[in-house]
Amino acid sequence: MEALKCPNCGGNILIDGEQEYYFCPYCGIGIPNKLRKKFTIEIKEDKKITKTIVKRDEAKIEEEKTSRIETIAILCFTGLFMLFTYLVCR
Ligand SMILES: [Zn+2]
C-alpha cells in the first residue's frame, strides 16, 4: 500500500491507481503525480487490512462456487426426476 503524506496538513493520502493529481481528503490540497515520490510513505498497517479484505473476497468467491454447484445439483436432480416420471408414465 502506497500513500502520500500531505505537505499541508500531514494527513495520509492513499494512492488509488495512476492519477494526474492526488487530493488530500483532509484539507483538499492536490499533489501532482510528478512530485508524488517526494511525499510517498509506507503504511504497514494497511497491508494487513488489504490482506484481510482479499481473504474475505476469496471466501465470498468460494461461497458463490458452492451455491452454483448446489444449483447445478438441484437442476440435475429435477431433470432426472422428470425423465424418470416420463419413462414411468409412458
Ligand atoms: Zn492535507
Cα of 8 to ligand 1 centre, how many Å? 5
What's the confidence (pLDDT) of residue 62? 83
CA 77, 80, 82, 85 dihedral sign is negative
Rounded to whole angstroms, the Cα distance separating 31 from 3 reads 12
What does the domain layout of the chain look like in residue ranges? 2-42, 44-90
Q: 37 C-alpha to center of ligand 1: Å?
A: 16
The pLDDT of residue 42: 78
pTM for this prediction = 0.45
Ligand 1 center to residue 7 CA distance, Å? 7
> Mind listing the pLDDT tens digit for each residue in 2-47?
899 999 999 999 888 889 999 999 999 999 999 988 999 877 665 5
Report CA-CA distances (Å) from 66 to 2, 50, 60, 63: 35, 25, 10, 5
